Structure formats: structure tokens, C-alpha cells
Amino acid sequence: MRTGVVFPQTEIGSRPADIRRYVETAERLGFRHLIVFDHVVGADPEVHAPWTGWYDVDTDFHEPFVLFGFLAAITRMELVTAIIILPQRQTALVAKQAAEVDLLTEGRFRLGVAVGWNAVEYEALGQEFRRRGRRIDEQIPLLRRLWTERSVTFEGDFDRIPGAGISPLPVQRPIPIWLGGYTPPAFRRTGRVGDGWFPGIQPGPELDAALAMIAESAEEAGRDPAAIGMEGRLNWRPDITADEIQQIAGAWRDAGATHISMDTMGQGLTSLDGHLEALAQVADALGLAAG
């Protein structure tokens, strides 16, 4: 089971030197991949009252593809989006940006995608919120064609490509596409077309039921459920112990996770050093540097 970190982008600030220090430290401690997630714009709560979303116009989000262009020159860790809100982005442009990241990282890239939940963001990006599920179902196979074919001709409900392609093509052909989401449509989509899954739920009966649905959908699509990866989440907190860290990692391993990532956000850490100390604690508990 590969262990990574969730980039604390809502708390790390905007100094390139801090971003570099965080990533270099994570790699030195033995973490093998870095996860970044996506929001292009946040809603103004005064305009969209009562606003109940977990982030808003004042919440920091680094743009994943641009950030990964910077990080590709800094780290040998695998870079992962978990997730990009695919239906609110242009399909061919995502294919081009992802291919470039894959080239710059020499194939150390996973593209995690999902449909998102913020209608305000969809409107700001000129896309229909209510059709986002149908759009992502069209986009995923089209992305794979754009990464593997010199010239693509395609006519769909949302995209039209009149004999065109991207160059250079990525190292991975195709780039792995992992799905996020914790609803039945997301489970079924993962089974049908996903290379992996970011659950958003913890090990237990709810996860078991979701995995059963993914497996059923995979088998119906003629796919091997065992070939679909799963990335667990270890949510750090100030009072967590080494035994608890090991127990959480073990629960994910027993559930069949191929990857696990630790998240330090939302726990009152007010400095970069605080996040790095948390990383060191988890790395020590799991024996990462030694392994």
C-alpha cells in the first residue's frame, strides 16, 4: 500500500518557498505521492446567502495543473489530482494539460476526476450543473482517445472534435483516471470506467456496500474489480497516537486499499512547521523513511 499526503492548500499560503519546503520534506520523509484537489472559484456568501458550502470566495486553492508544472521540477513523488471537477472544464484542454504534467513527471501522474457539488462554480465556468453526470460519462472515454490517438474525430452531446489531436502525447497512454465520489452513481461509474477510486468514506459497512456496487458494475462491464485501485484517507488530528495511525492504515489495507494519503487540514495547524511535524509523526509511525 503506497502512502502519500494531501497538499494542505487551504492553509499553506502562497509563498513558493513554503510550497517547495513542504513538498521536499514530504518526499524526504518517505511519502510517495502528493494529492491536490480542485476549485476554480468560490462563492461569495453575501451574494449566495445562506451559504452552507465548506469553502467560499476567501478560501485558498492552488490550481492543480499549474502547481504540478512547478512541482514536477522539485519532486520525484507521483502527482495526483483528487479531484479535478471534470465536467466544468473543457475536455480537450484537460487532456492537453494532463498530458503535459505526465510528460514533465515522466509518467508519475494520476488524474482523479469527479462531478463536484457547487452550482455557482459551474455557472462561473459556463457549464450546466444539472447535466454534469452525463457530461463526465462522455468525457472519460474521450480523454483516453486524446491520449492514445494521433487524430480524433468525435461528435457527442457535449464535445465535438473534427479530426484533431494533441502533441506531444503523454508517457502513459492512457493516463490513469481515478474517480471520486460517495454516491451510488459514482460507485457505478467507477466500476464501469475507473482505474481507481477515492472513497470519501472510512472502512466499515458503508465502504463494503460501495465496494460491492463497484464490483458488480465492473463485472457487468466485463472488467476485473480487482484491477480497480482504492485510495484511503488518514485524517490526522492533534491527539492521534502512533497506534491509532497504524490501526487506521491497517484497516485500509484490510479493506483492499492500494494507496493511502494523510490529510492535516482543518485541525488548527497555524504554521507550515505544524503541518511538517504532523507529516513526520505519521512517517515515523508507519516506518516510511526506513521502508
Angle between helices 205-220 and 242-255 (to 10 degrees): 30
Q: Residue 261: inside a domain, yes or no?
A: no
Count of structural domains within the chain: 1
User: What are φ and ψ of residue 254, in 5° steps?
Assistant: -65, -30
Q: Residue 84: inside a domain, yes or no?
A: yes
Q: How far apart are CA 32 and CA 5, in angstroms?
A: 8
Q: Residue 55: inside a domain, yes or no?
A: yes
Q: How far apart are CA 5 and CA 97, in angstroms?
A: 22
Kindly list the distances between the CA atom of residue 234 and the CA atoms of 92, 104, 203, 246, 279, in Å, as whole numbers in the listed order: 34, 28, 11, 10, 11
**pLDDT per residue over 38-86, tens digit each?**
999 999 999 999 999 989 999 999 999 999 999 999 999 999 999 999 9
pTM, entire model: 0.96
Q: Residue 243: inside a domain, yes or no?
A: no
Q: Residue 165: inside a domain, yes or no?
A: yes
pLDDT at 290: 58
Torsion of CA 84, 85, 87, 92, to 10 degrees: -20
Q: Residue 111: inside a domain, yes or no?
A: yes
**pLDDT per residue over 1-31, tens digit each?**
999 999 999 999 999 999 999 999 999 999 9
Q: How far apart are CA 283 and CA 277, in angstroms?
A: 10
pLDDT at 291: 54
Q: Show the low-confidence residues of the chain (pLDDT under 50).
A: none
Q: Residue 203: inside a domain, yes or no?
A: yes
Q: How far apart are CA 68 and CA 74, in angstroms?
A: 10
Q: Residue 239: inside a domain, yes or no?
A: no
Query: Which residue do the cell numbers 465556468 mark?
Result: 125
Say which CATH number the domain at 90 has. Answer: 3.20.20.30
Q: Kindly state the cell numbers that stand for 206.
A: 458503508
Boundaries of domain holding 220? 2-230
